[in-house]
Chain A
């Protein structure tokens, strides 16, 4: 369905959410966000979102400009106590060459083993073999294999620090699938356009941002012969045979950051948690008394077939 004005659905309204200092629980701020979203929807009811509809856009632009000013005036949102793994950083976006490098090490060491063995250097060969095994272990079972810290460069230099942290936009505004679907989802381009139809640059930039221009280009392509959406790089990927449902975790009051780390501080998102079964089951097994205090809602089913089916 085409939604040229986006006025009918709260999903398409600019739900401008001021986070209450980040101290409120996720559900509360979500409800507030929805409420504000509805208010926003009512405020711009019937207002065409397309950039060409100038008159209505002007009032919307004023709203957003006013909002940005108030945000700038506010002190930065203090980050609550988030899981300790949020400071894991991988400096480079490419993870492929690291493993190729490790594999090269393994191969070179194994070549060394055979060479040394051929010339009768048994002990050095065994030592090299041990090294090769260690390298192989690191390659296949080390923390990098778990992708913890994986932080690829995205096609658009999108900053959660700016949108979620500084602007305080609710996570569910873009990732609304987390509320009613197993899949949180990446926002469709029309959701970006709710704001970026009028915001083409940040307050510090003097000309239109080339990053935002990519959104506009994708949006413009939608009715053309070759519609082309934005291909984001997937960061969080569970292994095969696992089914994970966002909506039940949200319904149980788990906050996004408990698995995704302090996402509102990340200018480029990385995988904060190891996302291993042991890590999942640790939380599912613990009761509230045992859990660290940043796990507000620990405890969950531990039957295999809640996730594996």
Chain B
């Protein structure tokens, strides 16, 4: 027997008890206390379970209610979208003081009523708890007063010594920020302003400097282009000003109005972009062959039209001469009504594009340099020079204002290295919305206010001034750029007074928007409308000369090292990655690949077969510069062979938990591929890359996994999207719409004595941009389900865009035709879902709506099974927001559904009811146009029309009778209420 007294290894009973006690106490309570608490909470639960022991709900009214607001009322404020520098007009919807939705501003000349998905998702950026909440000095909180006095003192001492101060921003078109910057310059002497853009248009600006002697970005008029050739410019998705271009492009694509003048659109590109998916003719082209192809096209045009200069052959192109000759013929026939654009980063390619446009007589017609756009002014060379100067230790102060070059500039790794080294400037300040890659390197990390929290303005285009107004006080201790510059410039003016002052001196004297008699009246009008037009001096003389010498200086593209070329693009959902922590955008699918939640490397089917890569296989991409990215493969029909395409903006580690798909709540469970390093920015500098196949595979989180209209089992074409060609359409407006014999109807017909709601969707206008998906999510409180759930096909989109590939079997792989079709609840007259519901939770309304009553639903999912359109969605869980603060963005007019309930598109019944009630209170009938569904409101091309089909004068009634109208799967006899307009392609049959 061992005696514990004599054995030092043994604990005495008392010591053991003491140790257990102390271990118990490590988290503050003993086991006994814990058990006591447990039983007490059981008792509490028992009491709470009866549901009535809680105190009554409280109603706490305002102390002093503002006259402009009342509980239950939605207010709309005109402002400018802060999502990117395109500066589209927005109407922000506010409810009880909380902004809850962004919509398009129909008065705005840039966006013309549309708003893209990213713009609408800025609401989630506002309610993001990963935002920087207070000023930090070397990581510890500090007051703004201290920040200001310290930065002013340091800048003063630097300017006294003649040091160099550099301000780094993305493109800023705001007159007020420029005015505040001038004040800063006048106080501190030489302050250099370096402008860069992650999705840079620097090559276009530089090419115009060479060819036209003016460093400017022309304004483009896609509505005036009858023949349109785009070399990799994704102008319907991300290029320059996509909302504006989509609207203009769609205007030229209306076969009914344009007749034979409907635009002919050729896209030559390497990856399958959303823009290429809408092209009449799509040609696969490697990025390295772009200059050679443009030169070849130019040579064909020059010989055909007898132009003075003929460029030399600048390398070989794999595009057949036949193809280019046909394009040249079309362009030559449409001089002054054609447009050639290129998304290339190569100045040479842009010089060739300018030359072709110049000689075709397009300047002043389809693109205009005398009325330029200010949306992109970034200069890649200036950023490179800044790096040189930093390396030489010449810079004393570096101020980053709403910019993150340590992540998204060219050679960001090099910049990071310098900023971490001893040669870094003494004063480094970052004003950013979060502690991002750049702010983490700076001594001062200062919180930036959201666009909905600040006064400001923008001048997106010649003669257009757009105003930003705050909808709420900053949620955190943050400041806008204007406020910060004013504080450092030593001004005590408020941002509102300052912006007002700038508008008084710069905009008001030449404004053309309202016959205002005084500045006060003008200002009130400007705040109400959100945008004004004013007379700017012309940017360039009318007959701007063309410098032919620039053409001779174009050199062939350098050869590409490595096995494949890289096309690192900015994607529609994430753009350049600045909104990477936004759950709505992470779950928004790419319009073509349909991948959500993360990056994928796209390969052409031939390349994938050659490399032995299958869908979901992890591949390692290694660049010539030594950078590496690991991401799953995706096989993309229509992609050019020899090219691997992947999106920028993914794989951010400093943006927040959503960007990195890090588990936070149950919503985002641990992912096996969460650790993937899918950031493409480091690789962007290397044109050629090598691909290495790794052992692991993952399942891509796609929301569409079958891409064809053919029945997968029976093989026949179900003709879900009706299509025709322009020639056929001109002969017969009903072309492509065969008469449908619907099966005999089993049920007696419903009667719709009053209104009957219906929707029309023009497939010729729909670009698949997916803005409607975000609009619907914002309006209807649709939860984000996370990557794992999307993989299980449990996404909750009420409206989705179905993308189909078609063509011959070989063409389906190589270069398929693409059709985009928005799919939502068709509100069938004889709805198959209604007849199978055992509890009558879904039934038919007297206004033709297929109603879903959540509190009646018991979740059998019979309806989902019986729906031929597959638009019903089931709540597998109670989906919480990953941030509880994001609950502030919920729409109080729509129920937040609970677990176990079916849901689906309601045709925005809350908006219908609200419009009906408003008409009732005003003592009138509902007018056509009173009700706009959320998807319709924000559609950049206005492809969606909604209204009462029983009113013969309504737009929807006319569209439903249009010979182009068809209904999906009408042969089933479901009687859908959604009328699609046949897609008309401008191509030979």
Contacts and interface: CB of A to CB of B under 8 A. Distances in A.
Contacts of B54: 96
B909 A309 contact: yes
Interface centre among B47, B56, B846 (most CB of A within 10 A): B56
Given A152-B56, A245-B917, A308-B853, A189 B71 contact: no
Closest 4 CB pairs of A and B: A183-B72, A188-B65, A181-B72, A188-B62
Interface string A296-309: 00000101111011
11 contacts: A96-B54, A152-B56, A188-B63, A218-B63, A229-B63, A232-B58, A233-B58, A234-B58, A304-B845, A305-B913, A309-B894
Contacts of A232: 58-61
Contact of A189 (B56, B58, B64, B910): B64
A177 interface: yes
Nearest to B843: A304
Contacts of A247: 917, 921
Interface of B: 47, 50, 52-68, 70-73, 843, 845-847, 849, 851-855, 893-895, 906, 909-910, 913, 917, 920-921, 923
B906 A248 contact: no
A179 to B, nearest CB: 8
A182 B894 CA distance: 13
A145 to B, nearest CB: 8
Q: Which secondary structure dominates where chain B touches chain A?
A: loop
Contact of A304 (B50, B68, B853, B894): B853
Interface in A186-239: 186-191, 218-219, 221-222, 227, 229-235, 237, 239
Nearest to B895: A241
A43 interface: no
A153 to B, nearest CB: 10
Given A177-B70, A305-B849, A230 B61 contact: yes
B851 A304 contact: yes
A224 B305 CA distance: 79
Interface in A223-267: 227, 229-235, 237, 239-241, 243, 245, 247-248, 250-252
A63 B110 CA distance: 57
B855 A183 contact: no
A180 interface: yes
A276 interface: no
Given A176-B70, A252-B920, A308-B853, 15 more contacts: A1-B67, A2-B64, A96-B54, A99-B50, A99-B53, A100-B53, A152-B56, A177-B70, A177-B73, A186-B59, A188-B64, A232-B59, A247-B921, A301-B846, A305-B913
B73 A243 contact: no
A103 B61 contact: no
Contact of A248 (B60, B68, B893, B917): B917
Contacts of B50: 99-100, 103, 139
A309 B68 CA distance: 27
Nearest to B855: A241
Interface residues of A, number: 57
A303 B847 contact: yes
A3 interface: yes
A240 B60 contact: no
A11 interface: yes
Nearest to B910: A309
A305 B845 contact: yes
A251 B56 contact: no
A189 B62 contact: yes
Contacts of A188: 61-65
B262 to A, nearest CB: 40
B72 A251 contact: no
Contacts of A301: 846
A218 B56 CA distance: 21
Given A182-B72, A252-B920, A309-B910, A231 B59 contact: yes
A146 to B, nearest CB: 11
A185 interface: yes
A233 B921 CA distance: 30
Nearest to A2: B64
Given A100-B53, A304-B845, A227 B63 contact: yes
A95 interface: yes
Contacts of B66: 1
Nearest to B754: A301
Nearest to A234: B57
B72 A190 contact: no
Given A177-B72, A233-B58, A303-B846, A190 B53 contact: no
